[in-house]
Structure 1
């Protein structure tokens, strides 16, 4: 029986060719149709907000997730239990429910706490009273996505860090490296190869979940589509365009992340 040579490597990505052909055909159709061109121009105004929400929320979620992961791997039992509590509770709440809670319960609670803590400064005239309406719905949505995804990202970081062989960490200890130096020079550079694929998947997932911010009236792609469809009753055309734009974003990101993974894999093999 002949060996299974690089069939998978040599296999032509017909699915990608079909997807590109459909995307090109759709683009030509949109350009040639006044109606679809108008819908596209309207919905595309929300791309900037979608990208902004996704990038900012993912960056914040990654920072918080890394912190929670390090707490979970700490030698302190208290820190480990706090990290596990945070991860299990946050992961158990649907993103949409968390979005509503942060927007309409968490934000008012934060404003009340802030005003209570800064009451002396407000009385002295150094600070003005913070109102709930001062906290924009955009940032409430960003914080909800940040908190929701930080729990999932922390597990990605934890698994990646634990994948590093303990023997290398012990060798670094023997060389006299501090805990921070071991993490920066030994652990993280190796863990990132394990972390990157699932982290990229979470980023693509956040692009799609960012559509949930439309329930708060944030002017992202989905919200722009909802507004246009409600005013024109062109639901088929509008939501077809919305789906098309999200597909372009997510498939494009997925391909870019796969290319980055292959590049890192080749560098590691060399």
Structure 2
């Protein structure tokens, strides 16, 4: 039973929370009005900036020549099906690379956070791995693995350019993702571990049932941002000769003497990245709302 004159409402978990006060309701109304105002101002400024940009570009002396070289509709129509076919290869590489990056990145993060002096060599090797592959440009590693591994002529080692390119991408991105996971693991308060151990859970059970769920929830937004970056970097496998969207655009451009196929490829990659970018924004906003959920006074 609530006290007389006190209202309560249910939260998402079925519990009861005190109703927001008049002050809090006023704050929420003020934030909504400011948000609406900011939206209109952003829309107006975007329209003005876009108009100025278009007018400035079209009025440039070299615009007719640039339009013919980069925005030829006939070349775009001929290039679109070929570039789209190459994009299917990029999508397959993206799916495989994303799964491998998450698995390897999490494994490296767990090995870097394992405790005990006996694990010091493992922690050192994992730290060395992250330092090396985070510091090495992806395109350089693509050349090293793509042309160096086949040169070794090792039995049983794949020499397919797509496989080697995907391997290079996984090695580089796993180093970045491992640091994201490690930051998430270390962001979990030590009291969570202590409470789990007090309940009788082992170290492995504590990590799997208590620490990792909270860590993954904390780092979901940056992981989605890494996925956006991965979506465009899979196009770099074209430097090894893989016939993906970028290579198809290069072939059509060489045959037609026109750069419009590159614009087609760029637009397809942008359309591929936009949903993930919006998902990352939604996850970030959701995490911020969860942190502010307790502010109801």
CA distance in 2 between counterparts of 1:240 and 1:227 reads 14
Q: Which residue, 41, 44, 57 being the options, matches 2:84? A: 44
**How high is the TM-score relative to the length of structure 1?**
0.78
Alpha-carbon shift at residue 7 of structure 1 (Å): 6.0
Gaps of 5+ in 2: 1-25, 51-71
Is 1:216 aligned to residue 240 of structure 2? yes
Is 1:203 aligned to residue 246 of structure 2? no
What is the RMSD of the two structures over their aligned residues, measured on CA atoms? 2.8
For 1:5, the equivalent position in structure 2 comes to 31
The 8 Å contact of residues 72 and 84 in structure 1, kept in 2 or not, is answered as yes
Alpha-carbon shift at residue 92 of structure 1 (Å): 1.6
CA distance in 2 between counterparts of 1:59 and 1:14 reads 38
Alpha-carbon shift at residue 68 of structure 1 (Å): 0.8
The 8 Å contact of residues 107 and 140 in structure 1, kept in 2 or not, is answered as no
Alpha-carbon shift at residue 44 of structure 1 (Å): 1.1
The one-character-per-residue Cα deviations of 1:85-130 (angstroms, maximum 9, x if unpaired) are 1111111211001111111223444x52xx4xxxxxxxxxxxxxx4
Q: Which residue, 43, 53, 72 being the options, matches 2:93? A: 53
The 8 Å contact of residues 192 and 210 in structure 2, kept in 1 or not, is answered as yes
The 8 Å contact of residues 103 and 140 in structure 1, kept in 2 or not, is answered as yes
CA distance in 2 between counterparts of 1:43 and 1:248 reads 14
Residue 70 and residue 229 in structure 1: after superposition, are their counterparts in 2 closer, same or farther (change >3 A)?
same
Structure whose residues are more often helix by fraction: 1
More off after superposition, 100-109 vs 154-163: 100-109
How many residue pairs match? The answer is 237
Gaps of 5+ in 1: 22-31, 116-129
CA distance in 2 between counterparts of 1:147 and 1:77 reads 22
CA distance in 2 between counterparts of 1:36 and 1:85 reads 46
CA distance in 2 between counterparts of 1:106 and 1:215 reads 15
The 8 Å contact of residues 185 and 215 in structure 2, kept in 1 or not, is answered as yes
CA distance in 2 between counterparts of 1:8 and 1:216 reads 51
Q: Which residue, 14, 29, 54 being the options, matches 2:43? A: 14
| Bigger radius of gyration among the two | 2
The one-character-per-residue Cα deviations of 1:64-95 (angstroms, maximum 9, x if unpaired) are 11111111111121121111111111112110
**How high is the TM-score relative to the length of structure 2?**
0.72
CA distance in 1 between counterparts of 2:32 and 2:127 reads 42
